[in-house]
């Protein structure tokens, strides 16, 4: 007897529940193969409300620095390719420059931008949607707005936080840490919370943690420490910034930051390296450490370890990398998923040790865009087609005076170590005098240049 539509839908829902209970199907390497998993109950099976593709379609999940760049440059390189960029957010807010916004040096609208402006100027489609499932066999992305078919999929979803070393699986503790003391390295509500914390500072100890591994924006926690100390100093607030660094020393621009800590903020910043946090009590506001015991704090931005966004695990393309959990399992020279060349992974989720920064993601995005166009044209990608992304990064050490330090670096592959490292690197770390003032101007212009890259 033929199934009615209602019975068929019941059967589909039952299959989805069964798949969810039994777990992901396993591929022949023992990894999660979500392309074999039925879409979860409640996911729309009808097409998303976007125009039909008029050429091969590239779907990009994640409209951060990497996704925005790839959308623009795929379309710019070959206008016949149909590009759909999706993100769950309705408004873009950048992490870069946000420390200057949080400390009141620049207005909030400086870092806030319109996704639709990028779509209009780039002639691609922006879809505000959340990707829930990815069927890599049928090349379908399931979203809350419906299904989107692709010829090439780009996963550029950014980071998630990894609280496991602190929470030990305690969900209530993790939620309290996220809510009360967010790391503020995922732009949006966390940025606004940090801004509110700083505006309401009454003194005492403000803790800024620095994670180990390859975290997003290596100089970011040190820049923020300088700017909060600068805020305290300018507003005559009696307090200090306690920098608890898991690393043995400042991870980048060490000379410039140490100089600022010791000269500008000697009475406002206490830097403690090699700090391993063993326990955090968010209610009593106590951090327990291996070396220094219990430390009381009045407020904090608790930056945990980072990991690849969970959509990678949903898509079945994640692996634990040298640096972080659940990053993308890709060919480091082509950015294509191992075993599925139709999927590229970029930005914060790639496992190579490149800086997790906007400028790096932007220059990398241009490289990946070229690779995608070549791949759709039937060209072979490989190590010979690889080129290095570029990292240009400015960090403010004073706010109102707008003094900044900077780094400029490329990357090279080390055959012996089978990994990438800095190449042709140079820094400008003198924050005092004209060079520092020029760096401050460079920081603002660098930020404006990034926004032009994404939206103009």
Looking at domain 167-305, which CATH architecture does it have?
A: 3-Layer(bba) Sandwich (3.50)
Identify the pLDDT of residue 40.
66
Mean pLDDT of the chain: 91
With 0-12 / 13-18 / 19 or more C-beta atoms within 10 angstroms meaning exposed / middle / buried, residue 137 is exposed
Average pLDDT over residues 409-419: 92
Average pLDDT over residues 37-62: 87
Domain ranges of the chain: 57-158+309-385, 167-305
CATH number belonging to the domain at 57-158+309-385, selected among 3.50.50.60, 3.30.300.30, 3.40.50.20, 3.40.50.720: 3.50.50.60
159/157 Cα distance (integer angstroms): 7
Contact (Cβ atoms closer than 8 angstroms) between residue 154 and residue 372: yes
In tens, the pLDDT along 53-75 reads 999 999 999 999 999 999 999 99
Sign of CA dihedral 394, 395, 397, 399: positive
pLDDT band at 18 (very low <50, low <70, confident <90, very high): very low
Contact (Cβ atoms closer than 8 angstroms) between residue 361 and residue 348: yes
pLDDT band at 41 (very low <50, low <70, confident <90, very high): low
370/34 Cα distance (integer angstroms): 28
Contact (Cβ atoms closer than 8 angstroms) between residue 85 and residue 124: yes
**Residue 225 confidence (pLDDT) above 60:** yes
Contact (Cβ atoms closer than 8 angstroms) between residue 139 and residue 98: no
Identify the pLDDT of residue 4.
39
HSE (CB half, 13 Å, CA atoms) of 163?
A: 19
446's CB contacts (< 8 A; 6+ apart) are 359, 392, 394
67/51 Cα distance (integer angstroms): 20
Identify the pLDDT of residue 444.
95
77's CB contacts (< 8 A; 6+ apart) are 369, 370, 373
pLDDT band at 7 (very low <50, low <70, confident <90, very high): very low
Nearest to 345 by CA among 322, 375, 372: 372
Average pLDDT over residues 196-219: 97
In tens, the pLDDT along 245-271 reads 999 999 999 999 999 999 999 999 999
In tens, the pLDDT along 370-390 reads 999 999 999 999 998 899 999
Contact (Cβ atoms closer than 8 angstroms) between residue 129 and residue 333: no
Asked if 57-158+309-385 and 167-305 have one fold, the answer is yes
């Amino acid at each position: 007897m033929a199934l009615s539509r209602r019975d068929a839908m019941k059967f589909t829902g039952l299959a989805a529940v069964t798949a969810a209970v039994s777990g992901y199907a396993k591929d022949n390497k023992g990894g999660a193969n979500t392309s074999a998993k039925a879409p979860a109950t409640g996911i729309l099976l009808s097409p998303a409300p976007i125009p039909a593709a008029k050429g091969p379609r590239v779907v990009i999940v994640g409209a951060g620095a990497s996704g925005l760049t790839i959308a623009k440059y795929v379309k710019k390189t070959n206008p016949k390719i149909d590009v759909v960029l999706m993100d769950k957010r309705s408004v873009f807010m950048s992490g870069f420059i946000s420390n200057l916004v949080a400390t009141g040096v620049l207005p909030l609208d400086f870092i806030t931008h319109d996704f639709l402006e990028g779509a209009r100027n780039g002639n691609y489609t922006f879809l505000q949607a959340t990707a829930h499932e990815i069927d890599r066999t049928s090349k379908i992305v399931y979203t809350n707005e419906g299904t989107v078919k692709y010829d090439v999929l780009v996963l550029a979803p950014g980071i998630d936080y990894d609280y496991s070393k602190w929470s030990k699986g305690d969900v209530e503790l993790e939620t309290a840490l996220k809510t009360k003391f967010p790391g503020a390295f995922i732009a949006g509500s966390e940025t606004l919370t940090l801004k509110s914390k700083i505006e309401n500072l009454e003194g005492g100890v403000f803790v800024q943690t620095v994670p180990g591994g390859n975290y997003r924006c290596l100089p970011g926690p040190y820049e923020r420490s300088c700017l909060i100390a600068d805020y305290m100093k300018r507003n005559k607030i009696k307090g200090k910034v306690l920098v608890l660094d898991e690393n043995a020393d400042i991870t980048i621009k060490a000379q410039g930051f140490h100089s600022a800590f010791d000269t500008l903020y000697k009475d406002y910043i206490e830097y403690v390296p090699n700090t391993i946090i063993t326990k955090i009590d968010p209610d009593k506001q106590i951090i327990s450490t291996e070396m220094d015991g219990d430390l009381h704090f009045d407020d904090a931005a608790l930056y945990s370890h980072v990991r690849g966004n969970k959509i990678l695990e949903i898509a079945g393309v994640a692996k634990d990398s040298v640096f972080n959990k659940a990053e993308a399992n890709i060919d480091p020279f082509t950015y294509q998923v191992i075993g599925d060349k139709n999927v590229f992974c970029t930005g914060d989720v790639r496992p190579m040790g490149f800086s997790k920064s906007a400028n790096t993601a932007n220059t990398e995005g241009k490289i990946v865009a070229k690779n995608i166009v070549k791949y759709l044209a039937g060209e072979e990608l490989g190590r010979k087609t690889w080129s290095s992304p570029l990292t240009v990064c400015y960090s403010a050490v004073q706010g109102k005076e707008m003094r900044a330090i900077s780094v400029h670096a490329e990357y090279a592959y080390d055959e012996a170590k089978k990994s990438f490292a800095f190449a042709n690197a140079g820094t400008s770390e003198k924050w005092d005098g004209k060079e520092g003032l020029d760096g401050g101007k460079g920081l603002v212009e660098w930020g404006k240049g990034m926004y032009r890259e994404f939206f103009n």
